[in-house]
Amino acid sequence: MTSQLTAPAEIVEGLGPNRVRGKVVKRPQRDVAVQSYIPEVIRGIGITLSHFFKNTKEMALDQRNDPVLESIDDGINTISYPEQRRPYAERFRGVHRLTTREDGSPRCVACLCCSTACPAQCIYIEPADYGDDPKRGGYEKYPKRFVIDELRCIFCGFCVEACPCDAIRMDTGMHPAPYDSRDQFIYEKDLLLSIPGRDGKHESANPRHEPGDPTFPGIDRERGH
Amino acid sequence: MPTFKLDDRDIEFQPGDTIIQAAHRAGVDIPHYCWHPGLSVAANCRMCLVELGPPPGRGPLLLDVLRYDAKTGEYVKTKKPKLVPACQQPLTEGMEVKSQTSEHVAEARAAVQELLLLNHPVDCPICDQAGECRLQDYWLSHGANKKRMRDEIVHKPKAVSFGPTIVYDAERCIVCTRCVRFCDEVVGDHVLDKRERGNLSEIVLAPGRQLDHAYTLMTEYVCPVGALTAKDFRFKARVWFLRSVRSVCVGCATGCNSYTDFDPRNQTVYRYRPRDNERVNKFWMCDEGMLDYRRIHTGRVLAAQAGGKQVAVDAGLDAAADACRKIDPNTSAVVLSAQHSNEDNFALLQLAQRLGVTRLFLSGRPEGEGDDILRSEDKNPNRTGVIGLCGLQTPGSFKDFAALAEQGNLRTVLALGSDAELPDRASALSKIESLVTIATHQGPFVKAARVVLPASSWAECDGTFVNRDGIAQLSERAVRPQGQSQPAWKLVAGLASRLGHDLGYKRVADVQAALAPQERSGAAVQEAGATA
């Protein structure tokens, strides 16, 4: 115990008028070269320029690393967004799209299930009646307006789950672009219909199997039991 | 009163009651499609099957059946009780009925439900009935089984126009014949009937006819599924977004009890539905009344006008007060409205008394078509109420008022409502020097007025209406006042305070408290309305 109470060699006892205990530190070497900063600045510019030329060369010669492979490596990796993008997962919920039938009409029948399920209440639908329109093709109801407020949307995917017709999907692999005014985030029906899925198609991956189709799972009258 | 036992509960019944009738009166719901308290018994849906206890001194009635045994894959001979439809079985003293507690009943109802859904297109996403459909409700409460049939369903006509108001979808129809019985028994117009049998049956119109009588929308309302839909409501809203308040139809003097269905998000009224009341409208409403909700949103006065310009309500009240300061009992009159509630008319009567105006007149909408079922020729909901409020001082008719105005004897007139009962005499209104109108809708009185104050309609404030039989009924507020409109009694109170008379009305309850007991909706009437 007594040995611990004695001060170590470099601790000096009672310096100055207040007898402060302290450790003597050597002052750093500050010669003219260090104080003027000039060599350090030149060294820094050198590093920046070497990166600049390396990046420019890689970009010009198309030698950039794959961001996915690079991200597996240790250390800090840079993805040059937006030229390079980290790919989204298979089930990433991106911007919505409306799928179409084979004739290009929207599959949506304006049942309002999506806007009922939506916790952010960002979907507005105005239903309408095809009436005697020859375009109706066996359908009665369609959305006259279908509006999604992408700013309000929380991308939970409930609308996709709720849809009984597979008319709304979030498989675009896109997130909303950063627009410069709010009204550009209000996606109207025509815009939603124009966005393709990841496979580049506008139709759904799950087509409706009508009783007449060869893909219809049930037994119908023609094929018997 | 004799009683019977339903499950574990003793329920009283009147001699001649069927099981479902007595249960319905006691507030117990036995699942049903085709039975309706106001129609005859058809017993064709078989949803209300119940198990009866054996009659005294005898054994239970058992049927021999073959039951499939899934383990052995064979059919086994067994017995099960004979079930009876609750809608057709008359009650006797001490009868024991099993509805919820019998496994045989549960099995039978699940089977009935499966049969009814066998050929159903399941197009709930585009069906207006979704959300208030018995097929949906009973499917959930009776097994919620997936469909076993892999065959293509029987296809039938869809979206058939039955007339100016109704669309029929034969695929959704369960052929309960409620609509047929309604037309036959209540309206007395045999325009609908059933054709074919089994899964091919459907409802058809009489040859050369359309469903065009005065009660067509009731056929949609009695339809327990989405087979009949109203063209007016078609695809307008989903019912789960709508909220309801208890209201009274203001389409005519009958004062049918109704529900006002509105969407609270956009403050829009979408439809009226009949509300059961044995004393007034039983279970029904007419087309005219059910479509009357449209007046809430059309032809409204939504801003105050003074001197031909739109002004704020306060400025309008100031202008009205200026006009009323010149009131001289000899050249002034107050026009009450049979379209407005007791509250509004009472407030105006109070003001008329304070101003010393003794000439009272009553106006309203012109007479229309009537019948022996529900519709009155008098298209005003509160004529009886206003005459009652005036007491001995019976108000003059619009004819007398127009005659006085024609002679130029009226300088200042304070009018409630904009309806001229005799539209061809409305030109006389332009002879009035200063006409102050408190109105909900555009009309002759608004056109001729110097100052117009926007009043809230019946759907935007509570109000009491007295029907032709003298029954005072409360109509509840559904939506917020539209535009700058305010309840008429509030405008009258504001006008009175500017003229130096404090009526002391801050809330509608203050006005109602000042009304005589027979002029506000009594507790007894409300209860009568609530039983159905």
What is the Cα–Cα distance from A163 to A114, expressed in whole angstroms?
6
**Would you state the pLDDT for residue B524?**
39
Give the residue with greater pLDDT, A78 vs B457.
B457
**Would you state the pLDDT for residue A90?**
85
- How much is the mean pLDDT over chain B? 92
Do B375 and B509 belong to one domain? yes
- pLDDT at B517 > cutoff 80: no
- pLDDT at A9 > cutoff 60: no
Which CATH number covers residue B66?
3.10.20.740
Any domain includes B190? yes
Per the CB < 8 A criterion, the answer to whether B167 and B158 are in contact is: no
Residue A165 contacts B, CB cutoff 8 Å: yes
Shortest CA distance from B236: residue in chain A: A127
Any domain includes B123? no
Shortest CA distance from B157: residue in chain A: A138
How many other CB atoms are found less than 10 A from the CB of residue B78? 12
Q: Which of B158, B235, B240 sits opposite A116 (nearest CB)?
A: B240
**Would you state the pLDDT for residue A7?**
47
Do B283 and B340 belong to one domain? no
Q: What is the pTM of this model?
A: 0.85
Cβ separation A111–B241 shorter than 8 A? no
Report phi then psi at A217, rounded to 5.
-70, -25
**Would you state the pLDDT for residue B314?**
95
Nearest to B441 by CA among B452, B433, B425, B430: B452
Do B407 and B267 belong to one domain? no
- pLDDT at B523 > cutoff 70: no
Determine the distance in angstroms separating the CA of A59 from the nearest CA of chain B, rounded to an integer.
53
The amino acid occupying position A196 is P
List, for residues A208-224, the tens digit of each pLDDT value.
666 566 666 655 445 44
Any domain includes B126? no
Query: Strands B332-337, B360-363: parallel, antiparallel or unpaired by DSSP?
Result: parallel
**Would you state the pLDDT for residue B23?**
95
Residue B126 with chain A: CB contacts under 8 Å: 109-111, 139-141
List, for residues B100-134, the tens digit of each pLDDT value.
999 999 999 999 999 999 999 888 999 999 999 99
**Secondary structure (DSSP) of B149-215:** --BPPPP---SEE-SSSEEE-TTT-----HHHHIIIIII----EEEES-GGG-EEEEPTT--S-STT
Do B374 and B494 belong to one domain? yes
Q: Which of A109, A113, A219 sits opposite B151 (nearest CB)?
A: A219
Determine the distance in angstroms separating the CA of A186 from the nearest CA of chain B, rounded to an integer.
19
Cβ separation A129–B234 shorter than 8 A? yes
Mean pLDDT value of segment B6-21:
93
Give the residue with greater pLDDT, A105 vs B36.
B36
Burial category of A70 from C-beta neighbours within 10 Å (exposed 0-12, middle 13-18, buried 19 and up): middle
List, for residues B227-280, the tens digit of each pLDDT value.
999 999 999 999 999 999 999 999 999 999 999 999 999 999 999 999 999 999
State the sign of the Cα–Cα–Cα–Cα dihedral A68, A71, A73, A79: positive
Do B251 and B357 belong to one domain? no
Residue A220 with chain B: CB contacts under 8 Å: 151-152
Do B390 and B319 belong to one domain? yes
What is the Cα–Cα distance from A43 to A56, expressed in whole angstroms?
20
Do B267 and B320 belong to one domain? no
Cβ separation A112–B151 shorter than 8 A? no
Question: What percent of chain B is predicted at pLDDT more than 90?
Answer: 81
What is the Cα–Cα distance from B161 to B205, expressed in whole angstroms?
10
Cβ separation A128–B152 shorter than 8 A? no
Per the CB < 8 A criterion, the answer to whether A128 and A143 are in contact is: yes
Burial category of B385 from C-beta neighbours within 10 Å (exposed 0-12, middle 13-18, buried 19 and up): buried
Q: Which of A113, A221, A225 sits opposite B125 (nearest CB)?
A: A113
Any domain includes B131? no
**Would you state the pLDDT for residue A72?**
72
Element containing residue B25 per DSSP (H, E): helix B19-25
- DSSP reduced 3-state for B441: strand
Which CATH number covers residue B434?
3.40.50.740
**Would you state the pLDDT for residue A140?**
86
Cβ separation A111–B238 shorter than 8 A? yes
- pLDDT at B164 > cutoff 90: yes
**Would you state the pLDDT for residue B532?**
35
State the sign of the Cα–Cα–Cα–Cα dihedral B330, B332, B337, B341: negative
- pLDDT at B216 > cutoff 90: yes
A108, A111, A159, A210: best mutation site toward chain B, by most B Cβ within 10 Å? A111
Half-sphere CA count of B519, side-chain side, radius 13 A? 22
Do B258 and B321 belong to one domain? no
List, for residues B82-104, the tens digit of each pLDDT value.
999 999 999 999 899 999 999 99
Domain end call among B81, B105, B129: B105
Mean pLDDT value of segment A79-98:
85
**Would you state the pLDDT for residue A209?**
67
Report phi then psi at B441, rounded to 5.
-120, 160
**Would you state the pLDDT for residue A3?**
45
Cβ separation A164–B238 shorter than 8 A? no
- pLDDT at A28 > cutoff 90: no
Do B279 and B337 belong to one domain? no
What is the Cα–Cα distance from B79 to B69, expressed in whole angstroms?
14
- pLDDT at B417 > cutoff 80: yes
Mean pLDDT value of segment A152-160:
95
Domain end call among B105, B124, B140: B105
Nearest to B380 by CA among B365, B399, B402, B395: B365
Per the CB < 8 A criterion, the answer to whether A26 and A36 are in contact is: no
Give the residue with greater pLDDT, A204 vs A142.
A142
Residue B152 with chain A: CB contacts under 8 Å: 211, 218-221
**Would you state the pLDDT for residue B528?**
40
- pLDDT at B526 > cutoff 80: no
Domain end call among B271, B296, B321: B296
Cβ separation B152–A218 shorter than 8 A? yes
What is the Cα–Cα distance from B324 to B314, expressed in whole angstroms?
15
What domain range is B7 assigned to?
A: 3-105
Any domain includes B466? yes
- How much is the mean pLDDT over chain A? 83
Domain count, chain B: 3
Any domain includes B139? no
Residue B234 with chain A: CB contacts under 8 Å: 129
- pLDDT at A5 > cutoff 60: no
A107, A108, A109, A112: best mutation site toward chain B, by most B Cβ within 10 Å? A112
Which CATH number covers residue B207?
3.30.70.20
List, for residues B313-362, the tens digit of each pLDDT value.
999 999 999 999 988 888 999 999 999 999 999 999 999 999 999 999 99
- pLDDT at A36 > cutoff 50: yes
- pLDDT bucket at A74, cuts 50 / 70 / 90: confident
Any domain includes B330? yes
How close are the terminal C-alpha atoms of chain A, in Å?
98
Mean pLDDT value of segment A87-92:
86
How many other CB atoms are found less than 10 A from the CB of residue A99? 25
Residues in chain B: 532
Mean pLDDT value of segment A72-98:
82
Nearest to B172 by CA among B120, B244, B116, B249: B120
Do B325 and B289 belong to one domain? no
Do B92 and B207 belong to one domain? no
- pLDDT at B506 > cutoff 50: yes
Do B274 and B169 belong to one domain? yes
Any domain includes B180? yes
